[in-house]
Structure formats: structure tokens, C-alpha cells
Structure 1
Amino acid sequence: MTKTVLCYGDSLTWGYSAETVGRHAYEDRWPSVLQKALGNQVRVIPEGLNGRTTAFDDHLADCDRNGARILPTILQSHNPLDLVVILLGTNDMKPVVAGSAFAALQGISRLVQLVRNHAWGFDYEVPDILIVAPPAITETANAAFAASYLGAVKESSKLPTLYSDLADELGCGFFDANTVAVTTPLDGVHLDAENTRALGRGLEPIVRMMLGL
């Protein structure tokens, strides 16, 4: 029976390219790489939105970037699911959004609650959850990004430890994207094609294990 994985994320999941200020080729995005690695026994659903936060409003956006408000609708539209991979928190680092690793931690906790308490219906089981700590934000000469993410280099470096502890506490899987990928100095936030592919490859073993494959 085919297993279904939902990849819930932001521009790192959407595939934003700092080089082109566009989108990485489909085959370079990490959910695509993960899909190819897992093969036909798994269906990987990419659900990435540029600027998506864990659970906070972004009043500068032209769409709803609040991950907690949108998640129940996404879960319902892709029901049933075997695994939800959550890769969020980078945009929470913006001072105009939340500006702290602790705020992102609270947001991730809220997302886990939403998955666990969702009205799945049809006797569908609650999916497992994999929390992924995003690659740390790095210094950049890009003035706009540096200003937008003021203080984020230090704050984002706290996410792996916080997320790991939360995953242990809530019984979720955990993966630290910093072990396989680094952000590009072009804007300090996004992944180049090589690093987003590396993330997809890096996630394969734990996703395979959590799906029981």
C-alpha cells in the first residue's frame, strides 16, 4: 500500500533560488529528491509557501503565511497521511514576525497539536510527525535580507537544540538540516540547488524508517 508524506514548509520547500530570484528546477527541490529516492511505494506531497511562518501573521504579505491557520485545511485536502514533515521557523526569525527561536519553538509545538488533534475522520490514523530544524541563517552582504533578518544569525542557531528537545518531549521524529545543508551567502537564508538536493537525500533514511519501509 502506498504511503503518503506531506512536506509542510516555506521557501526552502518551495524551492526559492537566490541565484535566479526564481524557483529551482522541479528535480532539484528537496521533496522531489526525496520522492525519487523513496520510489513508487511513497507519494511525497510538497506544500511549500514563500514566507510561511510556524504560527504568526505576516502583515506585509499578499497571502496568508500563518502556518497554523492554514495547516488544518492542508491536512484535510491531502487526507489520509502517513507522515507530516514540518520544516519551518526561518521566517519566524524576522523581527517583524516574531524574532526569536523560542517563538518558533512555540509555533512548532502548536503545529504538532494541530496534526494530533485534527478531525481525521473515516477511521484514518493520526500520521507521524517529523520536525526538521532549518539550516541556520548566515551572514550576508545582501542589505535587504540582512535588515529583514536582524539578529537572526544568532537566534536561528538555537533552533536545532530547541526542536530536538521538543521532538523528544512530544514523541516526534527529528532531523537537523544543518547536518547536510548550509544556506547561501547570497542572501543568508536560502539553499542553492546542491544544498536543497542534499537535504532531500539526507532526509531519506529517517523518512524511510518512520514509514516502516
Structure 2
Amino acid sequence: MVMKSVLCFGDSLTWGHDPETGARHAYEDRWTSVLQKSLGHGVRVIPEALGGRTTVFDDHTSAADRNGAKILPTLLQSHAPLDLVILMLGTNDLKEYLGQTAIAAERGMRRIVQIIQNHDFGKTGQTPSILILSPPHICKTGDKEMDDFMSLKRKEVKKLAARYELLADETGCGFMDMSTVAKPSPVDGVHLDAVETRAIGAAVAPIAAAMLLI
């Protein structure tokens, strides 16, 4: 049996940021791990996630390069051959100090899709299928100052699902709306507790299996 490979490209929601501790969820609680267990030994799930990662925008507040478009070609090459790439990005594109909107995030995601679909994989295999996940919504925390600061971001993230679904239709990608699957913790309004994180992996598994034809 030929092993199939899935690259999960995302931000802190894919990395597994625990809102209660600020650390990382246990390996078994990360949605990529739940996906791996569900798909079985014939599939290799590769988590490639970074807190604060954007689609295509530079953010110089971190020691690590958060621009997804810059690192993605290298990852495509280093992990090839790939059968499926799962994308969950966009929340960080909406940061107020980056001045971004849902329109800009959709354009960034479009560029990410273009990079994958036009990448020269050479003899390492054919272009992988793509599954776009729109991120969970942002909730209020009870901290008025923080909630006021996040108000625009809360409004814009709700627009991503419709834009990403249209993008998926236009580019031949799969699509799932994670706001129908998981809700963030009111601790910080953005990140997911272990139960909600695992729910994403369980929801994505049957769609990924269908796209992998397993």
C-alpha cells in the first residue's frame, strides 16, 4: 500500500494553543493528531503551524517569519510528495495593527492556493488536492477593553466562510466552515480548549478521507 501524505498548514489553532495555559495542547488533543488517528496508518498527517501566521502579510512583531506565502514553497518541496494540503488561516490577517479585512484575507488565501496549484513538484508527484477551512469565529471575553479592541476582528472573521467557499468553488478546492464545528474559549476569545480542538479533527476526517479516496 502506498502511503498518502497530508500537509496541515495553519496558525496557532492548528499548532494547538491552549487558552488556559498559553502553552500547547497535549499531542493527542491537537486536531491534526485526531485526524491522523482517524485516517489510520496508511496516511501521514504533517502539522506545519505557527502562532500568528498570516496568509501573505508580514508581521515583524515576532522573531519567527509569520508570512505563510514565504515559507509555503519550501514546505511543499520538503514534504513532497503530497496528496492533500489542508489550509486554516485568516484570523491573523485581521489584526488591527495590520489593518486587514476579510477581503484582504481572502486574497491572501487565494495566493496560497495559487502557490500550491502552480508549484513545480517535478518528479516528486502531482499537485495535491486542497481543503480550505474557514476558522472558528471570535467570541467576547468579558474584558471590555479587550472586547472593544477585538470588535472589528470579530465582525470580519464572520465574513471569511462565505468568501472562502466562493474561492474554493472557483479554484476546485474542498471547503469546510469550522465555525459550525468549534467555538473559542471565552478565556481569550480566539483559541480553542481541548474538546473544541479535537472536534475539528473529527469533523475534517471524513472529508479528508473522501478527498484522499480512502
Partner of 2:83: 82
SS of 1:152's partner is helix
Residue 194 of structure 2 corresponds to residue 193 of structure 1: yes
Q: Distance in 1 between matches of 2:147 and 2:73?
A: 33
CA 1:8 to 1:143, structure 2 compared with 1: closer, same or farther past 3 Å?
A: farther
Q: Identity of paired residues, percent?
A: 55
- For 1:29, the aligned partner's letter is R
Partner of 2:210: 209
Q: Is the 8 A contact 1:82 1:126 kept in 2?
A: yes
Q: Distance in 2 between matches of 1:163 and 1:141?
A: 30
Give the number of equivalent residue pairs. Answer: 213
Q: Is the 8 A contact 1:145 1:188 kept in 2?
A: no
TM-score (normalised: structure 1): 0.96
Gap regions ≥5 residues in structure 2: none
Partner of 2:137: 136
**Cα shift at 1:2:** 1.1
Structural mapping, 1:1-213, within 5 Å: 1-122=2-123, 124-142=125-143, 146=147, 149-213=150-214
**Cα shift at 1:139:** 1.6
Q: Is the 8 A contact 1:35 1:44 kept in 2?
A: yes
Which moves more between the two structures, 142-151 or 189-198? 142-151
Q: Distance in 2 between matches of 1:156 and 1:8?
A: 18
Q: Distance in 1 between matches of 2:179 and 2:206?
A: 16
- For 1:170, the aligned partner's letter is T
**Cα shift at 1:98:** 3.9
Q: Distance in 2 between matches of 1:196 and 1:149?
A: 22
SS of 2:133's partner is strand
Q: Distance in 1 between matches of 2:50 and 2:124?
A: 30
Q: Is the 8 A contact 1:99 1:152 kept in 2?
A: no
Gap regions ≥5 residues in structure 1: none
Q: Is the 8 A contact 2:77 2:121 kept in 1?
A: yes
Q: Is the 8 A contact 1:94 1:148 kept in 2?
A: no
Deviations 1:102-138 (A, max 9, x none): 1110000000000011111115100000000000111
SS of 1:22's partner is coil
Q: Is the 8 A contact 2:84 2:128 kept in 1?
A: yes
CA 1:17 to 1:208, structure 2 compared with 1: closer, same or farther past 3 Å?
A: same
SS of 2:87's partner is strand
SS of 1:40's partner is coil
Say what the alpha-carbon RMSD is for the aligned residues. Answer: 1.4
**Cα shift at 1:59:** 1.6
- For 1:205, the aligned partner's letter is P
Which moves more between the two structures, 122-131 or 3-12? 122-131
SS of 2:86's partner is strand
TM-score (normalised: structure 2): 0.96
